[in-house]
Amino acid sequence: MVAKKTMIVTGGGAGAALLLAIPFIGGWEGKSNDPYQDIVGVQTVCYGETRVEMRKYTDEECVEMLKKAVTEDFIKPVAKMTPTIANEPYQLAAATSLAYNIGLGAYKNSTVRKKFLVGDFVGACKSFQSWNKVRRLGKLVVSKGLDNRRKDEIKLCLTNLPAS
């Protein structure tokens, strides 16, 4: 019943994007049932969640938290903010992964979103790479982990697009 309801609410393109995004994001975020500080010092738990009580969670709670966050808090707003990709599963899944990692506010103001909005899908996908840095000691430095994640998001994003 829940899966059927989600498909009705999100539609075909978003439904397919959801099936791509949840395991993709989960794989890149990794899972810790216990709270920890992420690479920039933010208190985090489960699959990179920062907006919940910081306590120990079960595996099942972490999975449900990820599904709920991606379904309700990220894929819908990303699709609404970026209607040009709302029915493009690979691009929407990649953009949702980016937004999950950098936040909806940063995604809303990003070159990635702006390029999607004007129909430059390849340019938008390639722009993911600019989000591979963290601030350390007041300077932006490339994070190997973020760099690898962005490369993987770019591959997902470029799926089914004509080669540039």
Task: State how far the alpha carbon of 61 is from the alpha carbons of 27, 65, 107, 164, in Å.
Answer: 16, 6, 27, 42
The DSSP letter of residue 128 is G
Active-site residue flag, 38: yes
Q: Which of 29, 49, 88, 153 is catalytic?
A: 29
Contact indicator for 159, 89 with CB cutoff of 8 Å: no
Active-site residue flag, 120: no
Contact indicator for 154, 123 with CB cutoff of 8 Å: no
Q: Which of 38, 59, 64, 72 is catalytic?
A: 38
Catalytic site positions: 29, 38
